[in-house]
């Protein structure tokens, strides 16, 4: 039986926009009043709200994490990231020779690549260990540093290939993450069907995005120059307000161009990754479309930019609702045979995940 002919079950997210916006505004206000210390309770309340609105086969997810656990993770990240970052960016340029400080900054950026990957792994492990469905806990096995090392290698290949290794790197990261994911004692699998390429359907959209960004990169300065000449503005010694307006317009042009160029690739990558995930023989199918995904992404970035990041959870909610309302499960796993997870709970919160804010304050539902 083909995936199209097999019976399917849809996921659903019943979250309402203004309900989530109200909670996000309250959390933002309290975060400001407490000098950001409320953000741990803000994340917890938002996740509980979004998890409880996520329906799978008629039953909601449950989030059991606590703010105290997130605060503990923040304390771990202080000596591991925040204090070194303060030294590299604020103290070293003053206390060290410029060349030495420059090399130190470069080394910090290079080291941050695997560090971000490890942080993403720890964050996902914590969130899955605090997620339950029908009483069964999810989990993530494997090594964060193993994932970080592999991600660093793929990042090097992306740099050496001028970005053209990106589709393969994205699939490789998804495979490594999903093959370590557990629902109870049942592992997820990640593989293509019938000998297909894991990146099937991703290369043409990626090529369009890559070429489109090259065009945007050249078109931005040319457009800014034409506008400046047309309006008689000297970009080097002209009126500051006019110069700032032109550069702000060029920045907006780059941002919009980035979203438009990469929307087809992002939709194709999301669909392809979902199609390769299986659980006890049951497959997933996602129906992300270019223009609808572009609209959701653009609206999310509007909230992030206009609120200086304080309403990032609204953007995360829009993404979560978009994906879940377009996700299907082809056939059903044998849920009756799945036992409780034997993986240990993550007791260090999200650790460095808090430092990089990798999930817009929402999570990885």
CA–CA distance, 169 with 319 (Å, rounded to integer): 22
Q: Quote the tokens at residue 275.
A: 């199609």
Q: Which residues of 229-255 are buried (b: 16+ CB within 10 A; e: fewer)?
A: eeeebeeeeeeeebbeebeeebeebee
Give the least confident one: 2-6, 107-111, 236-240.
2-6
Q: In terms of C-beta distances under 8 Å and separation of at least 24 residues, what long-range contacts does 250-256 make, across chains too? A: 250/220, 250/221, 250/223, 250/224, 253/216, 253/219, 253/220, 253/223, 254/216, 254/217, 254/220, 255/301, 256/298
Express each pLDDT in 10-68 by its tens digit: 899 999 999 999 999 999 999 999 999 999 999 999 999 999 999 999 999 999 999 99
- In the prediction, which pLDDT does 2 show? 52
How far from each other are the two terminal CA atoms of the chain, in whole angstroms?
29
The pLDDT tens digits for 74-94 are 888 888 888 888 999 999 999
Tens digit of each residue's pLDDT (9 = 90 or more) over 311-328: 999 999 999 999 999 999
H/E stretch holding 158 reads: helix 144-160
Cα–chain-centroid distance for residue 200? 22
Pairwise CA distance, residues 143 & 288, whole Å: 31
Q: Are 365 and 320 in contact (CB under 8 A)?
A: yes
> What's 193's DSSP letter?
S
pLDDT digits (tens, 9 = 90+) for 252-278: 999 999 999 999 999 999 999 999 999
Per-residue pLDDT tens digits for 149-186:
999 999 999 999 999 999 999 999 999 999 999 999 99
Can you tell me the distance from the alpha carbon of 28 to that of 220, in angstroms, rounded to the nearest whole number? Answer: 34
DSSP 125-139: HHHHHTEEETTEEEE
With a cut of 70, say whether residue 6 has pLDDT above it. no
Neighbour count for residue 7 (Cβ, 10 Å): 9
Average pLDDT, the chain: 91
Selection from 303, 270, 326, 309 nearest residue 17 by Cα: 303
Q: Tokens 């592992």 label which residue?
A: 187
DSSP annotation of 344 reads P
Residue 365 has a pLDDT of 45
**Residues 187 and 343: beta-carbon distance below 8 Å:** no
The whole-model pTM stands at: 0.92
User: How does pLDDT run across 215-248, given as a tens digit for each residue?
Assistant: 999 999 999 889 988 888 877 777 888 889 999 9
How far is Cα 150 from Cα 176, in angstroms, rounded to an integer? 9
Residue 229's pLDDT is 85
Residue 277's contacts (CB-CB under 8 Å, 6 or more residues apart) are: 178, 188, 189, 190, 283, 284
CA–CA distance, 75 with 354 (Å, rounded to integer): 10
């Amino acid at each position: 039986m083909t995936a199209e002919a097999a019976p399917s079950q849809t996921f659903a997210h019943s979250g309402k926009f203004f309900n989530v916006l109200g909670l996000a505004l309250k959390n933002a206000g309290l975060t400001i009043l407490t000098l950001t210390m409320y953000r741990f309770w803000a994340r917890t309340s938002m996740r509980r709200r979004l998890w409880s609105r996520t329906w799978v086969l008629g039953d909601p997810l449950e989030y059991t994490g606590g703010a105290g656990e997130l605060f503990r993770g923040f304390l771990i990240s202080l000596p591991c990231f925040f204090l070194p970052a303060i030294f590299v960016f604020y103290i070293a340029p003053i206390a060290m020779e410029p060349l030495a400080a420059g090399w130190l900054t470069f080394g910090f950026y290079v080291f941050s690549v695997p560090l971000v990957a490890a942080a993403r792994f720890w964050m996902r492990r914590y969130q899955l260990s605090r997620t339950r469905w029908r009483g069964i806990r999810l989990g993530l096995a494997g090594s964060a540093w193993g994932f970080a090392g592999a991600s660093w290698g793929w990042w090097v290949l992306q740099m050496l290939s001028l970005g053209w290794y990106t589709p393969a790197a994205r699939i490789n990261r998804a495979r490594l993450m999903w093959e370590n994911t557990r629902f109870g004692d049942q592992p997820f699998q990640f593989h293509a069907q019938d000998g297909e390429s894991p990146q099937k359907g991703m290369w043409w959209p990626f090529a369009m995005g890559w070429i489109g960004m090259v065009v945007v990169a050249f078109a931005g300065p040319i457009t800014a120059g034409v506008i400046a000449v047309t309006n008689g503005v000297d970009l080097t010694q002209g009126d500051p307000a006019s110069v700032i307006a032109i550069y702000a317009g060029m920045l907006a042009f780059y941002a919009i161009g980035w979203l438009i160029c990469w929307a087809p690739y992002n939709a194709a990558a999301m669909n392809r990754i979902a199609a390769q995930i299986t659980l006890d023989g049951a497959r997933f199918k996602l129906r992300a479309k270019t223009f609808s995904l572009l609209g959701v992404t653009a609206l999310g970035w509007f909230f992030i930019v206009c609120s200086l990041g304080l309403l990032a959870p609204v953007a995360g909610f829009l993404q979560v609702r978009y994906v879940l309302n377009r996700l299907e499960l082809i056939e059903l796993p044998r849920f009756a045979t799945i036992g409780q997870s034997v993986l240990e709970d993550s007791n260090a919160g999200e650790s460095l995940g808090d430092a990089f804010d990798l999930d817009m304050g929402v999570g990885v539902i």
